[in-house]
Chain A
Amino acid sequence: MADTLTGSAPDAAAPVPEFPMARAAGCPFDPPPALQARQDEGRLVKVRLWDGSTPWLVTRYEDQRALLLDPRVSADITSPGYPLQAPNNGKNNISFILMDDPEHARLRRMVTAPFAVKKVEALRPGVQRIVDDLIDDMLAAGGPLDLVEAFALPVPSLVICQLLGVPYADHYFFQENSKTLIKRDAAMEDRTAAHGRLIGYLDDLMGRKMTEPGDDLLSGLVARVEAGELTRQDAAQMGVLLLLAGHETTANMIALGTLALLENPDQLALLRDSDDPRLVASAVEELLRYLNIVHGGRRRAALEDIEIAGEVIRAGEGMIMPNDIANRDPDAFPDPDRLDITRDARRHVAFGFGVHQCLGQPLARMELQVVYSTLYRRIPTLRLAAEVDSLPFKHDGSVYGVYSLPVTW
């Protein structure tokens, strides 16, 4: 359980705001107003979590980047003061995303090779085929249909399955379990059970790859297990991390990105009518900056006292660094609340920053470039088949988006 940090609240009389905060009705793309307001209040302010602890909220882009880069800042969920998202029984941890160097670096480097920019680029024609086939199916089925189920989730799922060597036929199983695992308000026992099922599934699959290795990432991990570089448990955990991180995130960028474009028809027209791959790439960066689907905030704990922004973050204190307000920081991005696919948004922190910055980013970018340059051109009359206000937004998950997106054309 996290240490309670109430002792260091700057002013015991002022109520410390609760975190996370709620988004405003009718503003599904913007950070919660109460969160955004903290940015004007100061660079470092306190917030209160579900367990009563009061970690620092780091409100500015530059400070978030500096801290995420600082080796005195720990991503290890067991570090004293780590701001827990939900109760933790130590059984649901998923590999190196919650570890510090040197162990984090050792494990991460085992799986970086296939995500290198040029290797990912070689997968582009295959991804284009997947996207085109799914659009063919949608056109054949006819609208209205749910874009999440018909398109947004299958694209990244098919891609990550191929890369890892996971049978896509099992997608219902792992999608359901990962949904539970990333749901903020799921009961701890349910999350532990879902985690256990995923670990069991990956362990089983890797066991089979010992006798029948393929040309895929999991077979590569199996070879490392056999070489004694990695325990079987570590390998299964890494498999779960890659499978999970590889599809929920990208799927939500596809669905929520489509909604954002439909709500900004001038931007959609600009994107649809251009065949400049640079504009497509720029639209991907801008939508990542604007939407911030991994919205729970990077969570960290100080291992030593750290002086920053005129304060001292003490060893054992927690920090939360929400990328949604960093990416809407006017000092970093002029006119930050405007979606403008022609702006240079490459410096956004939607993939995080520091040594944990997203491993799959070249893959996510390439998938999104293929999707955004294909879907709206092949279905130019694509439109919502429901009121925006009636859509089920994922307020309850650590990945934001929509549970379903009814569309027609």
Chain B
Amino acid sequence: MRVELDEPKCVASGQCVMAAPEVFDQRDEDGIAFVLDEKPPADLLDDVREAVAICPAAAIRLVDR
């Protein structure tokens, strides 16, 4: 499973960092999110799914591959 983040959509809410801190972080200059670990281990996938669900901008996807 791979994590995709649609950066222009991100509104820097920080929700993904709170849900899955091992997988997401925010840029220093503007708080826009980026992916730390594109292929997170299985035990983090639930956290990533939570991030997908609570991202207010629908900017995160978890895709097969």
Decide whether A and B assemble into one complex. Answer: yes
Q: Which of A109, A118, A120, A352 contacts B30 (CB 8 A)?
A: A109
Q: Mark B33-65, 1 if CB is under 8 A from A, else 0.
A: 000000000000000001001101110000000
Judge whether A355 and B30 touch: CB under 8 Å. no
Judge whether A117 and B53 touch: CB under 8 Å. no
Answer whether A355 and B11 are a contact pair too, CB < 8 Å, given A117-B18, A346-B54, A347-B53.
yes
Residue picked from B12, B21, B32, most chain A C-beta under 10 Å:
B12
Judge whether B28 and A113 touch: CB under 8 Å. yes
Taking CB atoms, residues of chain A closer than 8 Å to B32 are 109, 112
Interface majority SS on B: helix, strand, loop or mixed? loop
Judge whether A105 and B11 touch: CB under 8 Å. yes
Q: Contact size class for B?
A: 20 to 34
Judge whether B53 and A357 touch: CB under 8 Å. no
Q: How far is the CA of A354 from the CA of B54 in the complex (A)?
A: 10
Interface residues of B in 15-29 (CB under 8 A from A): 15, 17-19, 21, 25-29
Judge whether A69 and B57 touch: CB under 8 Å. yes
Q: How far is the CA of A105 from the CA of B59 in the complex (A)?
A: 14
Taking CB atoms, residues of chain A closer than 8 Å to B15 are 357, 361
Residue picked from A105, A117, A347, A361, most chain B C-beta under 10 Å:
A117
Taking CB atoms, residues of chain A closer than 8 Å to B26 are 116-118
Judge whether B30 and A112 touch: CB under 8 Å. yes
Q: How far is the CA of A117 from the CA of B58 in the complex (A)?
A: 19
Q: How far is the CA of A357 from the CA of B14 in the complex (A)?
A: 11
Closest 8 CB pairs of A and B: A357-B56, A112-B12, A112-B31, A116-B31, A117-B14, A116-B26, A117-B17, A362-B14
> What would be 24 A-B contacts, judged by CB atoms less than 8 Å apart?
A109-B32, A112-B11, A112-B30, A112-B32, A113-B29, A115-B31, A116-B14, A116-B26, A116-B28, A118-B17, A118-B25, A118-B26, A346-B19, A347-B53, A347-B54, A351-B13, A353-B56, A355-B11, A355-B57, A357-B56, A358-B13, A359-B13, A361-B13, A361-B14
**Chain A residues close to B by CB (< 8 Å):** 68-69, 105, 108-109, 112-113, 115-120, 346-347, 351-355, 357-359, 361-362, 365
**Chain B residues close to A by CB (< 8 Å):** 11-15, 17-19, 21, 25-32, 50, 53-54, 56-58
